Amino acid sequence: MNVEISDLTRRFGRTRAVDGVSLQAGAGVFGLLGPNGAGKTTLLRMMATVIPPSSGRLRLLGRDPGSYGPRREIRRRVGYLPQNLGYYPGFTVAEFVEYFALLKDLPPRRVPRAVAAAVEQVGLDGKARSRLRTLSGGMLRRAGIAQAIVNQPELLLLDEPTAGLDPEQRVQFRALLRWLGETATVIVSTHLVEDVGAACSEVALMDAGEIVFRGTPDELTARGEGSGAAGDAPLERGYSAVLSAARS
Amino acid sequence: MSVMSMRLPRSARALRLEFKRNAVPYVLPLLAAVFFFDTLRTADGFAPIWTLRASAIGDHMLFEFSAFAGGLAAWAGSREGRRKTVDLVAPTPRAAWARRSTALAGTLCWMLLAFLAGVAVLYIQTAVQATWGGPPLWPVFVGAFGVIVVTVIGFTCGVLFPGRFTAPLVAIGVLVVYQTGLRQALGVATSSGTYALLSPGNGPPVVDTGVYYHVAPDLSIVQVMFMGGIAVALFGVLGLAPGLRGLAPARAALARSGGWLLRTVAVVLVACGVAASWTAFALAGTAKPDAVGGWEIPALHSAASDQTVPVTRDCTSSSGFQVCVHPAFRFYLHDLAAAFEPVAAEIAGLPGTPAGAREVASVSGGQDVQSGTSVSPPVFEFTAEHVGAMFGQFNGIPDPAGWASGFQQGLLDAFLTGRPPHAGPVPILLGPAQQAVEDALLTAVRSQPLGPSVTSAGVSAAAHRFAALSASARHAWLVAHLTALRAGAITLAQIP
């Protein structure tokens, strides 16, 4: 298992953003669904080693991120796209991705090829020399994804990766996710249930800091059948049904 | 990507990116303009003496470069906070210190390159005009360390207080500190004024500094040590910055919990930097004026610095009155001879008339040298103090007439009083009769005597009377009365 979480909690003052979450994930694309404030981003940030948990056990890629050495090793093998993508507007797409390749300790000989591959995978090879300040929101998002995958991560954490992408780009991105999921653990936090339905082999639904559902997209769809829950698509109805049940 | 860049090691590649995308190049045109209008034009107003021109590095250039360096470094240091990339860069294996060091190095490289380019322009300008000596390196070291320390201070401020206003505030802060002077910033009083010597800007030195005597590097050494110590200590603080910032948010707890080796190195750097700065501060407190117009720090002082610089003077004697100057002042030798010539002709043949004029050092034994006539053989010995009036175009003070009359008055002062050259306080002014004769002789050679506002009506009237005489009549009267005139025994009424 690349991700092993048990009873993980993260508090901000008196607020429990993540409350006793347990989760295991191996290779494949894992969807993390939930409404705003459910704790998805906080959970991803803990898995990305940006913030430490308040309590509980977290093992990533078979290592404990609480210690310096293993944490560095984990960070070499993790890719992370935060929800709010900060960027350096003066950098070109290629420079931005190269910068993160270097921060991720990629061997210098491999950097140019890895950068070119990452930029191509997100469909920005025609914009590689464009400065980030000239890109649209969707292109920036793809540049963010490129930096996340430049080190061919074993654990890829994507927070709202399809926000700002047009439908064609989202279709291409889901294909990329499926391809990446063949060898790595990809955890995708999203509001968009259709992304989960199209790309994820497994899904967890969070609400109020807890995981209230864990299963396949089909199982989530099944929860909505005959429930009368709101939603335009079967998966949406399953999502609504699970949330209603958790809150009742 | 070029083949060259593909072969670069990781740190060099990161530095290349930082160098390429740094903000410094965008402000270089403005910096160049400020450098031209302030430093270069001011230096051009100084006599082309290496030490004098090099003083513009500390007094002008550093002032301008520091404000830019501080602001731009703060801009680079606050980048992660301003651009909200903390979540992007935090989960990378590269330590925050290493990451920031690369960004700092990018800014530092640009600023140092710009600074050294400015020094090169200043020194090339001087080399074209100077007639003796070579470029002094200590002012360059001091200036470079000044740029380094301000860059590190600005960067640290940016890291610790990321925000879009940090950069302008740092730039303004640096300007204010320089404007009020490091003397005030250090809180020194008259009693402890020597500590203020740590400020790299100390005003232009006397015109012949580094010409007759070596410039002792003592002060430059403690300045470099002081600023280098601060830079090293702050660099160490950058290594501890995640922990320091983490005192408030829990975000940095992970960073704090590991990397003991990095933190140990950071603590050692802070300790070494503080120790170096403190030592420099203590050494500055022991500084005392040396015998040749500089500063001596006993623990660092080398006796070799006090030795005179062996040199053969350049001379000219086109009219029989030999004028000799240090080769560093060769550029004004012929103008000087032309200034002395008519006065020397007026007093030629009189008792005690100097056979020539010789330039000497302006400081001796720690005291200002006053011009005078040596006895055997009688030679007028003068200093280069008036040479500055030949320059200063930028300040609007070129005064060729005043410059020439300054030397002519000096020659006549020495001749009419019979005063020998000496080191010490400014001598007593001429008596009224001596002043009247001097003014008359200056008028006779079409030079500018002291104006009526500084001489009394009686002196002025006597001077007019004496000047109206023929040259032979003046000469005859002086032959008869020069001894009494020198002794102060002649009254204004006795002047024909």
End-to-end CA distance of chain B: 91
* Chain A residues 28-87 within an 8 A CB cutoff of chain B: 45, 48-52, 65-69, 71-73, 75-76, 78, 80, 82, 84-87
- Rounded to a whole number of angstroms, the distance from the CA of B97 to the nearest CA of chain A is 12
Q: Is A181 in the same domain as A100?
A: no
The single-letter code of the amino acid at B329 is: F
By mean pLDDT, which of B153-162, B246-255, B323-332 is the weakest? B246-255
Domain boundary among A152, A175, A209: A152
Q: Is A188 in the same domain as A238?
A: yes
Looking at residue B378, what is its pLDDT? 87
Q: How many Å apart are CA B225 and CA B276, to the nearest integer? A: 6
Residue B194 is given by DSSP the state G
Residue B170 has pLDDT above 60, yes or no: yes
Looking at residue B251, what is its pLDDT? 44
Residue B200 has pLDDT above 80, yes or no: no
| Bond into B377 cis (ω within 30) | yes
Q: How many Å apart are CA B72 and CA B108, to the nearest integer? A: 10
- pLDDT interval class at B183 (50, 70, 90): low
Q: Is A55 in the same domain as A120?
A: no
Q: Are strands A155-159 and B363-364 parallel, antiparallel or unpaired?
A: unpaired
- pLDDT interval class at A206 (50, 70, 90): very high
B8-39 pLDDT, tens digit each: 688 888 999 999 889 999 999 999 999 999 99
**Residue B337 burial (CB count, 10 A):** 22
Instruction: List helix spans (H) across chain A.
Output: 40-47, 68-76, 93-103, 111-121, 137-149, 167-181, 193-199, 217-224, 234-247
Looking at residue B184, what is its pLDDT? 56
For residue B177, give the 3-state DSSP assignment: helix
pTM for the whole thing? 0.86
Complex ipTM value: 0.89
Residue B48 has pLDDT above 60, yes or no: yes
Q: How many Å apart are CA B182 and CA B364, to the nearest integer? A: 29
Identity of the residue in B85, B251, B258 whose CB atom sits nearest the CB atom of A86: B85
Higher pLDDT, B486 or B375: B486
Chain B CB contacts of A98 under 8 Å are 13, 17
Residue B91 dihedral angles phi and psi, to the nearest 5°: -85, 40
Q: Is A166 in the same domain as A228?
A: yes
Helix-helix angle B471-487:B333-347, to 10 degrees: 90
Q: How many Å apart are CA B359 and CA B144, to the nearest integer? A: 35
Chains A and B form CB pairs within 8 A to the count of: 110
Looking at residue B391, what is its pLDDT? 59
Q: How many Å apart are CA B273 and CA A183, to the nearest integer? A: 49
Chain A CB contacts of B90 under 8 Å are 48-50
Looking at residue B392, what is its pLDDT? 54
Tokens in use for A236? Answer: 């949406």
Using the beta-carbon criterion (under 8 Å), do B21 and A109 form an inter-chain contact? no
Residue B94: CA atoms inside 13 Å, Cβ hemisphere, count? 22
Residue B396 has pLDDT above 70, yes or no: no
**Residue-averaged pLDDT of chain A:** 92
Most confident of A13-27, B40-54, B387-401: A13-27
| Of residues B150, B134, B129, B152, the one with CA closest to residue B61 | B150
* Chain A residues 76-95 within an 8 A CB cutoff of chain B: 76, 78, 80, 82, 84-91, 95
Tell me, what CATH number does A25's domain have? 3.40.50.300
By mean pLDDT, which of A90-99, A198-207, B181-190 is the weakest? B181-190
Which H or E run includes B380? strand B379-382
Mean pLDDT over B88-96 rounds to: 90
Q: Is A162 in the same domain as A239?
A: yes
Q: How many Å apart are CA A153 and CA A142, to the nearest integer? A: 16
Looking at residue B254, what is its pLDDT? 42
Q: Are strands A28-33 and A185-190 parallel, antiparallel or unpaired?
A: parallel
Using the beta-carbon criterion (under 8 Å), do B17 and A98 form an inter-chain contact? yes
Q: Is A30 in the same domain as A105?
A: no
Domain boundary among A105, A132, A152: A152
Q: Is A31 in the same domain as A66?
A: yes
- pLDDT interval class at B4 (50, 70, 90): very low
Q: Which residue's entry shows tokens 């040590």?
A: B225
Looking at residue B256, what is its pLDDT? 46
Looking at residue B388, what is its pLDDT? 61
Identity of the residue in A84, A87, A105 whose CB atom sits nearest the CB atom of B93: A105
Q: How many Å apart are CA B118 and CA B134, to the nearest integer? A: 17
Residue length of chain B: 496
Mean pLDDT over B287-310 rounds to: 84
Using the beta-carbon criterion (under 8 Å), do B8 and A108 form an inter-chain contact? yes
The angle at the Cα of A207, spanning A79 to A191, to the nearest 5 degrees, equals 55
Q: How many Å apart are CA B306 and CA B364, to the nearest integer? A: 11
Q: Domain count for chain A, please give it.
A: 2
Residue B457 has pLDDT above 50, yes or no: yes
Q: Is A98 in the same domain as A113?
A: yes
Residue B95 has pLDDT above 80, yes or no: yes
Q: How many Å apart are CA B241 and CA B252, to the nearest integer? A: 9
Which residues neighbour B109 within 8 Å (Cβ) at sequence distance 6 or greater? B15, B19
Identity of the residue in B79, B88, B91 whose CB atom sits nearest the CB atom of A78: B91
Residue B428 has pLDDT above 70, yes or no: no
Tokens in use for B338? Answer: 């032309």
Residue B343 has pLDDT above 70, yes or no: yes
Domain boundary among A152, A169, A194: A152
B271-281 pLDDT, tens digit each: 999 999 999 99
Using the beta-carbon criterion (under 8 Å), do B259 and A68 form an inter-chain contact? yes
Q: Is A158 in the same domain as A204?
A: yes
Looking at residue B389, what is its pLDDT? 56
Looking at residue B36, what is its pLDDT? 95
Q: How large is the C-alpha radius of gyration of chain A?
A: 18
Question: Does A14 contact chain B (CB < 8 Å)?
Answer: no
Q: How many Å apart are CA B303 and CA B154, to the nearest integer? A: 39
Residue-number span of the structural domain to which A134 is assigned: 85-152
Q: Indicate the burial class of A212 (C-beta count within 10 angstroms; 0-12, 13-18, 19 or more).
A: middle
- pLDDT interval class at B426 (50, 70, 90): confident
Question: Does B422 contact chain A (CB < 8 Å)?
Answer: no
Looking at residue A152, what is its pLDDT? 94
Residue A237 dihedral angles phi and psi, to the nearest 5°: -65, -35
Looking at residue B253, what is its pLDDT? 43
Using the beta-carbon criterion (under 8 Å), do B254 and A67 form an inter-chain contact? no
Mean pLDDT over A51-69 rounds to: 93
Tokens in use for B17? Answer: 């990116």
Q: Is A178 in the same domain as A140?
A: no
Mean pLDDT over A211-222 rounds to: 94
Q: How many Å apart are CA A137 and CA B92, to the nearest integer? A: 24
For residue B467, give the 3-state DSSP assignment: helix
Q: Is A62 in the same domain as A91?
A: no
Show the 3-state SS of B22-85. CCHHHHHHHHHHHHHHHHHHHHHCCCCCHHHHHHHHHHHHHHHHHHHHHHHHHHHHCHHHHCCC
A116-131 pLDDT, tens digit each: 999 999 999 999 999 9
- Residues of chain B with pLDDT > 70, as a percent, come to 87
Residue A40 dihedral angles phi and psi, to the nearest 5°: -65, -50
Q: Is A39 in the same domain as A158?
A: yes
Q: How many Å apart are CA A169 and CA A184, to the nearest integer? A: 21
**Residue-averaged pLDDT of chain B:** 84
Looking at residue B122, what is its pLDDT? 97
Which residues neighbour B127 within 8 Å (Cβ) at sequence distance 6 or greater? B135
Instruction: List helix spans (H) across B163-259.
Output: 166-185, 218-245, 253-257
Find out whether A195 and A239 touch, Cβ atoms under 8 Å: no
- pLDDT interval class at B185 (50, 70, 90): low
Higher pLDDT, A186 or B352: A186
Identity of the residue in B83, B93, B257 whose CB atom sits nearest the CB atom of A72: B93
